[in-house]
Amino acid sequence: MGATGFDPWTKSASFPPNVHDPARLGAPSGTCDTRPYNAGVAQAAGNDDRALRRRVTRLEAIVLELAAASRPSLIPRLMGNEPGASSADVSLEQLPSGRWVAWGGSAVAGGATRAEALSSLGRLLDEYPTIPDEAIAAGQAIAAQLGLGKA
Amino acid sequence: MRELHTDTRRIDEVLEAVESAIAQDAESFHLVQDTQLRIAVADPFPGVIPRLWIYFTIDDFDYCTLRAVRPATPPQIVETDG
């Protein structure tokens, strides 16, 4: 898995618990971990972890986008039971304004419909499979200005 | 906001979406390495509003603070109130 040696099936604390349902992802039995999301572990895992999570998110977005286009009735099942539920790394929510927002990882996309929001999210993840170095550098500069370095 | 785009209503819609996502799932957004900032990448209106990098912090269990909004690409229209 790269320089960090991160193994997504055994080092799973950086994922939301429902990602590790073996029936959904085909992970070997006995390797699942239902500990809560742990941001500290996620940070320590580094770039490999981020790239992997974004790939999973992109796959989820593609599946949901296809379902939204072909069989809208599948969406509530894929997302959980109703809007607002999460499936793996992708979440979908209707705003008070009536617009929809879909997000996964660090990507956020909006749309007038569920399909549009999911489609935008899928496109965004295609174009930004990982967070650009420029965005990280800009964030580090902002943090330096604001005194928000690593705690 | 007008430095990002003249269509402030659209920008508001973008921020509304991002705020909603952060409010529900702030820890799912990635940390910027070696900082306390987390980043959201927003792409709501391709060709209309520039893609945005939005930086925020998780202050405590109940509060997050939006710290900065940056266009990911140079804005096509730049206007200031001055």
CA-based nearest residue to B52, from B24, B23, B15: B15
At CA A49, angle to CA B41 and CA A57, rounded to 5?
Answer: 50
- Give the model's pLDDT for residue B6: 61
| Pairwise CA distance, residues A43 & B41, whole Å | 18
Looking at the domain assignment, is residue A25 inside a domain? no
> Do the strands A90-94 and B52-58 form a parallel or antiparallel pair, or are they unpaired?
unpaired
At residue A87, the pLDDT reads 52
Number of structural domains (chain B) is 1
What residues of A are in contact with residue B15 (Cβ under 8 Å)? none
Which pLDDT score, from 0 to 100, does residue A75 have?
Answer: 61
What pLDDT is stored for residue B32 in this prediction?
92
- Structural domain contains residue A22: no
Mean pLDDT, rounded, for A124-147 = 87
What average pLDDT does chain A have?
A: 66
> ipTM strictly over 0.90?
no
Q: Which domain range does residue A140 map to?
A: 46-146
> How many domains does chain A divide into?
1
How does pLDDT run across B58-80, given as a tens digit for each residue? 998 889 999 999 888 654 444 55
Query: What is the domain extent for residue B50?
Result: 8-71
Q: Provide, as residue numbers in chain B, all residues whose Cβ is less than 8 Å from the Cβ of A132.
A: 72
Looking at the complex, report in whole angstroms how far the Cα of residue A28 sits from the nearest Cα belonging to chain B.
25
Nearest CA among A150, A139, A133 for reference residue B67: A139
Measuring CA to CA, which residue among A86, A18, A49 is closest to residue B30? A49
Q: Is B72 on the interface with A (CB under 8 A)?
A: yes
Structure confidence by residue, pLDDT tens digits, B39-58? 999 876 656 677 889 999 99
**A12 within domain boundaries:** no
Position B79 in a domain = no
Q: What is the distance in angstroms between the CA of the first residue and the CA of the last residue of chain B?
A: 13
Contact predicate A107/A125, CB 8 Å = yes
Within-domain flag for B80: no
Nearest-angstrom CA–CA distance, A139 and B53: 9
- Residue B31 counted as domain residue: yes
The two structure tokens encoding residue A143? 């943090």
Question: Is residue A15 domain-resident?
Answer: no
Tell me, yes or no, whether A126 lies in a domain: yes
DSSP per residue, A91-134: EEEE-TTS-EEEEETTEEEEESSHHHHHHHHHHHHHH-SS--HH
Residues of A in contact with B16 (CB under 8 A): 95, 97, 99
Residue with the two structure tokens 């500069």:
A141
Q: Measured between CB atoms, which of A95, A109, A150 is closest to B35?
A: A150
Q: Tell me whether residues A139 and B30 touch, CB distance under 8 A.
A: no
| Chain A residues near residue B27 by CB distance under 8 angstroms | 37, 39
Q: Which of residues 23-62 of B touch A (CB under 8 A)?
A: 24-25, 27-46, 51, 53, 55, 57
Span A52-90, pLDDT tens digits: 777 777 777 777 777 777 666 656 555 554 444 455 567
